């Protein structure tokens, strides 16, 4: 099946720009660029400035209910206007906790489902002054959802991309497109593209990853962050289908063919040649805890 998909690479929240203006500009960009794509994907925490590098309670006021909040409401209206599925991101308040959440909506079925970011960066602040663990709880589900055309879609968020176990889980459950909304910068710029190409090949899926582009600084943040963009679409053999560099306020799109997934899985049959009876250590939580000696110092 051939379908077209689109991704949004926004700029950053600059001085004088409100969160709502930032959000609205992305929606207007999609309206201008939309050309019949079956799926549109936005980047991580698309609703405003990224606040993960400061630790302040005031940012919790921007959390919203997933079903009734303004972001899902706006995305439902947009998907019906354009007649496409939309994958989007928000700061969710729900179930007595807060989450970094990605949703999927349909013009036919409404809200299809959501994914809550599982792997949260930060912890040892000597090396990574990121406070996502302060703001967000980890999700505990990895849904594979159907687009309106029957194509199977999975979602992960930014740091999740570095955990191959999650990719392999999606592969074994038949995911055909994996959306990776991101809000990444700095240290991991050089490995961003190569890492995603490897994961696409390992999971035999199309990967669409979106990042913002430009310099951004939250009030009380020590120094500006530079988001490097590099949004891209990759095929099931790891080839780049479409890519951006650090251009702000733009989009990318490509036609993909799900028949290529069948070819990739026949050519390199990971499922047939696996030996899961030998991989128990991967999910052995006791071993993992004892192995993380760096959390206790050198």
User: Cβ distance 120 to 136 under 8 Å?
Assistant: yes
- 71 is in which domain, residue-wise? 2-296
187: confidence class by pLDDT, cuts 50, 70, 90 = confident
Cβ atoms of residues 234 and 207 within 8 Å: yes
Are the C-beta atoms of 230 and 242 separated by less than 8 Å?
Answer: no
Give the pLDDT of residue 295: 46
Furthest-apart CA pair in the chain: how many Å? 57
Residue 140 is inside which H or E element, if any?
A: none
Q: Under 8 Å CB-to-CB from 14, ≥6 apart: which residues?
A: 214, 216
* Dihedral, 248, 134, 17, 247 alpha carbons, nearest 10: 0
pLDDT band at 126 (very low <50, low <70, confident <90, very high): low
The structural domain count of the chain equals 1
Q: pLDDT tens across 237-273, in order? A: 999 999 999 999 999 999 999 999 999 999 999 999 9
Cross-strand pairs, 178: 154, 207
Q: How confident is the model at residue 127 (pLDDT cuts 50, 70, 90)?
A: low
63-97 pLDDT tens trace: 999 999 999 999 999 999 999 999 999 999 998 99
pLDDT tens, position by position, 138-171: 999 999 999 999 999 999 999 999 999 999 999 9
Percent of the chain scoring above 70 in pLDDT: 94
Q: Distance between CA atoms of 108 and 112, rounded to whole angstroms?
A: 10
Buried-state track 70-94, b at ≥16 Cβ within 10 A, e below 16: ebbebbbebbeebebbbbbbbbbbb
The CATH number covering residue 6 comes to: 3.60.110.10
Q: Which residue has the tokens 């002054």?
A: 129
pLDDT band of residue 288 (cuts 50, 70, 90) is low
- How many Å apart are CA 227 and CA 237, to the nearest integer? 27
- Please determine, for residue 291, whether its predicted confidence score (pLDDT) is greater than 70: no
Strand 225-228 relative to strand 85-94, pairing: unpaired
State the pLDDT confidence band at 290, using cuts at 50, 70 and 90: low
Does 293 have pLDDT greater than 50? no
């Amino acid at each position: 099946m051939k379908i077209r998909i689109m991704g949004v690479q926004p700029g950053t929240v600059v001085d004088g720009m409100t969160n709502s203006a930032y959000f609205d500009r992305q929606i207007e960009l999609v309206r201008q660029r939309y050309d019949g794509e079956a799926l549109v994907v936005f980047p991580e925490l698309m609703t405003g400035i990224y606040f993960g590098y400061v630790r302040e309670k005031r940012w919790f006021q921007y959390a919203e209910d997933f079903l009734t909040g303004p972001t899902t409401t706006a995305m439902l209206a947009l998907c019906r206007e354009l007649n496409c599925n939309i994958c989007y991101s928000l700061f969710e308040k729900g179930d007595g906790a807060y989450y970094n959440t990605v949703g999927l909506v349909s013009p036919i079925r409404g809200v299809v489902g959501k994914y809550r970011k599982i792997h949260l960066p930060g912890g040892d602040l000597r090396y990574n002054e990121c406070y996502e663990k302060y703001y967000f709880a980890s999700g505990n589900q990895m849904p594979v959802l159907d687009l309106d055309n029957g194509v199977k879609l999975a979602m992960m968020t930014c740091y999740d991309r570095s955990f191959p176990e999650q990719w392999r889980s999606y592969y074994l459950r038949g995911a055909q497109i994996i959306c990776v909304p991101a809000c990444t910068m700095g240290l991991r710029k050089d490995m961003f593209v190569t890492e995603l190409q490897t994961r696409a090949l390992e999971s035999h899926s199309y990967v669409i990853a979106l990042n913002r582009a430009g310099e951004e600084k939250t009030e009380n943040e020590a120094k500006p962050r530079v988001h490097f963009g590099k949004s891209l679409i990759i095929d099931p053999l790891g080839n780049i289908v479409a890519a951006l560099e650090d251009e702000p306020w733009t989009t990318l799109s490509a036609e993909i063919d799900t028949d290529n997934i069948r070819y990739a899985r026949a050519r390199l049959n990971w499922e047939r040649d696996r030996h899961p009876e030998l991989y128990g250590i991967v999910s052995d939580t006791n071993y993992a805890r004892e192995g993380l000696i760096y959390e206790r110092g050198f």
